[in-house]
Amino acid sequence: MLTTRFVDGAPNWIDVGAPDLDRARAFYGGLFGWQFQSAGPEAGGYGFFQLDGRTVAGGMPTAPEQGPPSWTVYFQSADAAATARAAEQAHGAVVVPPQDVMDAGRMAVLADRAGAPFGIWEPGRVKGVDAANEPGTLCWVELYTPDIASAAAFYHRTLGLETSAAAFPGGAYTCVNPADGGEDAMFGGFVPLASCPTEADAGPYWLPYFEVPDTDAAVSAALDLGGDVRMDATDLPGVGRVARLADPSGARFTVITSVAPQQP
């Protein structure tokens, strides 16, 4: 389960890049009830989305040369520079070299073997998001990749992640967890890119999931706020009701109303 008891290799931060940050602020504010707080004049427009006074994500304005609007998932590292070297040695790439973010921490943006970008956050003053796995917050992440075995090898070498197979209607699902937490710390999964034809043209990517009280209501709200539906609301037995959406600039994410875990 994704929590704020962060361990190395687990997601600990997330942010969205948008060409029109004011529009993104209005969209996510209307959808999740988030409020935006600027990180200050020295932060280049970067700021924090907050829910009930707790930081749940970051946001920043982006230019066309920085790539398409998207969410970036960051994983905890005790040493961002060492993780960047490990990614290169595992045949990935360093997109943004490790750098200090004032006294908040140290970050880098890397890409895996297939080109899927992801972030690294080495905590300083800011350990990570303040809330997870509750309504309006990050609760799961998925990597859409053309080669699950290759991705598993890359992330094991780079972040120490472990994978396991879980039975799923129609086949098996590849789950992922940090080495230190074991399967109880499972936070996401790997999905064949070809299984999602509507998204495959954009290439490999990490997709964040946000918990919501009512998936259908969230879909309706997203449309009213200028967003788009990439996959209609669907029930996944034993998991919950999910829908894949995009904000007004095209940044993709999923909303889910999770079912309560069955008691043994």
- pLDDT score, position 193: 94
Q: Which CATH architecture has domain 138-258?
A: Roll (3.10)
Q: Rg (Cα) of the chain, in Å, rounded?
A: 17
Residue 202 makes CB contacts below 8 A (sequence gap 6+) with 68
Tell me what the pLDDT averaged over the chain comes to: 94
- Please give the full DSSP string across 209-249, using - where no structure is assigned: EEE-S-HHHHHHHHHHTT-EEEEEEEEETTTEEEEEEE-TT
The pLDDT of residue 262:
47
Digit-coded pLDDT (tens) for 195-239: 888 787 889 999 999 999 999 999 999 999 999 999 999 999 889
CATH code of the domain occupying 11-123: 3.10.180.10
Which residue's entry shows tokens 């780079």?
A: 158
Q: What integer is the mean pLDDT of 138-163? A: 97
Q: How far apart are CA 78 and CA 178, in angstroms?
A: 13
| Burial label, 173 (beta-carbon count in 10 A; 0-12, 13-18, 19+) | middle
The more confidently predicted of residues 184 and 149 is 149
CB 109 within 8 A of CB 117: yes
Helical H runs in the chain? 21-32, 80-89, 148-159, 197-200, 215-224
CB 192 within 8 A of CB 230: no
Domain with CATH 3.10.180.10 in the chain: 11-123, 138-258
Measured CA to CA, the distance from residue 51 to residue 62 in angstroms comes to 23
Task: Specify whether the CB–CB gap between 164 and 153 falls below 8 A.
Answer: no
Q: Dig out the tokens for 44 from the structure.
A: 């280049």
Are β-strands 11-18 and 54-61 bridged in parallel, bridged antiparallel, or unpaired?
parallel
* Res 199: pLDDT: 80
Q: What is the number of residues in the chain?
A: 264
Helices (H), 9-106: 21-32, 80-89
pLDDT tens profile 178-198: 988 777 789 999 999 998 887
Element (H, E) at 61: strand 54-61
CA distance 19 to 23: 9
User: Taking residues 239-258, what's their average pLDDT?
Assistant: 97
